[in-house]
C-alpha cells in the first residue's frame, strides 16, 4: 500500500476505523467457504459519506475494494483478492425507520437480519428473506446475494422484497436506485439489478425494504417418505395444486439422521422428509392442510401429520436450521452447492444425485427449499481419502452439467462468488453474459469493486 494512499485512508477513517494489524487482516479475510484472502487493510466506516470517500480514494489509487457484511457467505464472494481493501459495513447498523402505513423499513446495510425481524415483528410485520444464518448475516449481504430461505416459496426472496437502494458506484458516487414506491414504471430497474450483484457493481449503504404482515395463524406439517424419489414427486404434486405452502423443505435420509441427532424422535425416521407450513386466517388452516394431505398421496408416502404443539415445531425447525453446520460432523470438508432446477425436474435431479454418489465415491447429502426447486447439494470429503479429493472437481462439473441440462441454474440463493464463477457459461446465455460484463464496466469502469467474483475471467 503506498504511503500516500494509507495517509489518505487514515484521514478519512480516524481512530479504529482503519485496521492494518495482522490479526484483523486474518479475521476479515475469509467467509464460510473457508477460502482465505490477503487484504491490504480493513475499513470500518460509520457513514455513507465515508463509504463514498473511501471508494473514491480507491478508484483514484487503483486499489480493489471488497464489501463485507458478516462474512457468512459460502462462495468466497467476500474473500478479498490479494491487495484489496476490505470495506466492512458492520458499523452502518441502524434501523432508520419502520413505517407500517407504507409496509416498509429503511435500514443501513449492517443491520443483522434477525434484529430487523424482531423490530418489524413488534409491529406485526416481517421481512421475508429468512436464511438459516439470520442471527449473524446482514441485510447488505442478503441484498448482495439475493438471499432466500424457507419462506421464499410463498413470499419471494430478497429481490422480491426491496423497493429501493442507496449505493456507491465504482467512482465513489452516491446514488438512489429509485424512489421507494410500491408501484413504479419509470426507467430501468437498477434496484433489482444491484440485488445479487455481490458487491461487483456498487456498495449498498441504505435499503428500503418491503414488509409483509405476520399471518394470523400458521401450522407446521411433516410428510415422511420411503425414499427421495417419492418425496420429490410429492413436491411436484404440491406445487401443481392451488394452496401455496409458506414453507416446503426437503431432507434426504442422511440429512434426516443428522436432524434426528439434533431433535430426537420429533423428526421422523424415514428415507426422506418434507417439512411444510401453511399460514393465513385461522379458519383457513384445516382446508389448506387437507389440500396438502391430498397432494402428498404418492406411492412411498409413510406418514403425514401436523406438529403436535409449538415445542415440537420449534425443535424440528431448529434441527433444519442446524443442518448446514452439523454436516461438518460427517466430514470435515464439504463442497456446498445450492443448485436450482424447475420443480418438475426435481425427481430427475435427486435420482441423478444417487448415481453421482455411487460413481464418484463421495458422500452426497441433500436438503433444501424444494418448493423453489432449490436444493443444497453437499459433497462431503474425507481428507484421509485422497481419491475423493481427486474425484471432486469432476463430480462438481457433472452436477452443474446436469443442472444446466435440466434447465436449472448454478445457485438459487448463495450466489456465485469465486467457487462457481468458472461454471457461469454453462447456465447463462452467452449474450447475457456479455451484457453483464458491459454493465460491470458502466458501474465500475476501473474494475475495482470486488474483482475476481461472479463473472468468469
Residues that bind ligand FAD (CB under 6 A): 31-32, 66-74, 77-78, 89, 109, 131-133, 137-138, 140-142, 144-145, 147-149, 198-199, 203-204, 324-325, 413-414, 450
Question: What minimum distance in Å lies between the beta carbon of 165 and ligand FAD?
Answer: 9
From residue 8, how far is each of 5, 52, 120, 229, 284 by CA, in Å?
5, 13, 39, 60, 61
Question: What minimum distance in Å lies between the beta carbon of 144 and ligand FAD?
Answer: 3
Question: What minimum distance in Å lies between the beta carbon of 383 and ligand FAD?
Answer: 20
Q: Which is nearer to ligand FAD, 61 or 136 (CB)?
A: 136
Cα 173 to Cα 49: distance, rounded to the nearest angstrom: 10
Q: Which is nearer to ligand FAD, 132 or 233 (CB)?
A: 132
Cα 194 to Cα 395: distance, rounded to the nearest angstrom: 32
Q: Which is nearer to ligand FAD, 76 or 253 (CB)?
A: 76
Cα 285 to Cα 118: distance, rounded to the nearest angstrom: 25
Q: Looking at the DSSP assignment, which residues form a beta bridge with residue 273?
A: 224, 251
Question: What minimum distance in Å lies between the beta carbon of 196 and ligand FAD?
Answer: 9
Cα 254 to Cα 363: distance, rounded to the nearest angstrom: 9
Render 13-38 in DSSP notation, one character per residue: S-GGGEE-SHHHHHHTSB-TT--B--
Question: What minimum distance in Å lies between the beta carbon of 26 and ligand FAD?
Answer: 16
Q: Which is nearer to ligand FAD, 83 or 394 (CB)?
A: 83
Positive or negative: CA dihedral 195, 196, 200, 205: positive
Cα 379 to Cα 125: distance, rounded to the nearest angstrom: 37
From residue 123, how far is each of 104, 119, 211, 279 by CA, in Å?
11, 7, 11, 18
Q: Which is nearer to ligand FAD, 325 or 434 (CB)?
A: 325
Question: What minimum distance in Å lies between the beta carbon of 92 and ligand FAD?
Answer: 8
Q: Which is nearer to ligand FAD, 233 or 259 (CB)?
A: 259
Q: 88, 108 in Cβ contact below 8 A?
A: no
Question: What minimum distance in Å lies between the beta carbon of 131 and ligand FAD?
Answer: 3
Question: For residue 386, what is the DSSP state?
Answer: H
Question: What minimum distance in Å lies between the beta carbon of 322 and ligand FAD?
Answer: 8
Strand 212-213 relative to strand 301-306, pairing: unpaired
Cα 148 to Cα 133: distance, rounded to the nearest angstrom: 11
Q: Which is nearer to ligand FAD, 149 or 280 (CB)?
A: 149
Q: Which is nearer to ligand FAD, 229 or 413 (CB)?
A: 413
Q: Which is nearer to ligand FAD, 66 or 164 (CB)?
A: 66
Q: Which residues contact 38 (CB under 8 A, 6 or more apart)?
A: 25, 29, 80, 82, 83
Closest CA to 155 of 99, 209, 84, 88: 209
Question: What minimum distance in Å lies between the beta carbon of 133 and ligand FAD?
Answer: 3
Amino acid at each position: 500500500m503506498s504511503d500516500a494512499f494509507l495517509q489518505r485512508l487514515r484521514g478519512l477513517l480516524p481512530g479504529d476505523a482503519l485496521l492494518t494489524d495482522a490479526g484483523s487482516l486474518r479475521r476479515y479475510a475469509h467467509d464460510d467457504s473457508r477460502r482465505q484472502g490477503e487484504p491490504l487493510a480493513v475499513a470500518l466506516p460509520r457513514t455513507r459519506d465515508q463509504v463514498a470517500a473511501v471508494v473514491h480514494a480507491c478508484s483514484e489509487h487503483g486499489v480493489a475494494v471488497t464489501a463485507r457484511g458478516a462474512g457468512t457467505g459460502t462462495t468466497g464472494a467476500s474473500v478479498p483478492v490479494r491487495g484489496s481493501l476490505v470495506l466492512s459495513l458492520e458499523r452502518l447498523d441502524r434501523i432508520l425507520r419502520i413505517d407500517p402505513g407504507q409496509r416498509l423499513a429503511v435500514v443501513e446495510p449492517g443491520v443483522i437480519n434477525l434484529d430487523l425481524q424482531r423490530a418489524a415483528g413488534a409491529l406485526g410485520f416481517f421481512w421475508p428473506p429468512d436464511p438459516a444464518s439470520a442471527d449473524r448475516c446482514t441485510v447488505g449481504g442478503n441484498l448482495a446475494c439475493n438471499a432466500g430461505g424457507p419462506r421464499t416459496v410463498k413470499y419471494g426472496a430478497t429481490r422480491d422484497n426491496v423497493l429501493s437502494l442507496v449505493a456507491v458506484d465504482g467512482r465513489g458516487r452516491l446514488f438512489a436506485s429509485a424512489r421507494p414506491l410500491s408501484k413504479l414504471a419509470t426507467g430501468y430497474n437498477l434496484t433489482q439489478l444491484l440485488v445479487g450483484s455481490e458487491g461487483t457493481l456498487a456498495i449498498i449503504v441504505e435499503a428500503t425494504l418491503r414488509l409483509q404482515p405476520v399471518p394470523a395463524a400458521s401450522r407446521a406439517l411433516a410428510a415422511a417418505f420411503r425414499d427421495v424419489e417419492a418425496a420429490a414427486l410429492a413436491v411436484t404434486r404440491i406445487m401443481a395444486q392451488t394452496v401455496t405452502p409458506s414453507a416446503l423443505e426437503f431432507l434426504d435420509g442422511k440429512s434426516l439422521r443428522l436432524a434426528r441427532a439434533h431433535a430426537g424422535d420429533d423428526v421422523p425416521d424415514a428415507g426422506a422428509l418434507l417439512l411444510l407450513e401453511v399460514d393465513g386466517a385461522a379458519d383457513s388452516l384445516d382446508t389448506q392442510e387437507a389440500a396438502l394431505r391430498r397432494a402428498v398421496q404418492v406411492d412411498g408416502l409413510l406418514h403425514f401429520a401436523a406438529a403436535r404443539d409449538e415445542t415440537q415445531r420449534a425443535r424440528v425447525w431448529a434441527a433444519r436450521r442446524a443442518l448446514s453446520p452439523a454436516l461438518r460432523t460427517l466430514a470435515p470438508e464439504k463442497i456446498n452447492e445450492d443448485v436450482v432446477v424447475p420443480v418438475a425436474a426435481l425427481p430427475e435431479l435427486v435420482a441423478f444425485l444417487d448415481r453421482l454418489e455411487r460413481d464418484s465415491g463421495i458422500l452426497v447429502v441433500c436438503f433444501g427449499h424444494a418448493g423453489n426447486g432449490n436444493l443444497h447439494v453437499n459433497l462431503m470429503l474425507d481428507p484421509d481419502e485422497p481419491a475423493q479429493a481427486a474425484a471432486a472437481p469432476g463430480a462438481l462439473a457433472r452436477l452443474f452439467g446436469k443442472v444446466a441440462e435440466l434447465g436449472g441454474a448454478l445457485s438459487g440463493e448463495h450466489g456465485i462468488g469465486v467457487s462457481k464463477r468458472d461454471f457461469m457459461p454453462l447456465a447463462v446465455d452467452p449474450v447475457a453474459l456479455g451484457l453483464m460484463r458491459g454493465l460491470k464496466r458502466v458501474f465500475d469502469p476501473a474494475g475495482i469493486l470486488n474483482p475476481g467474483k461472479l463473472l468468469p475471467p
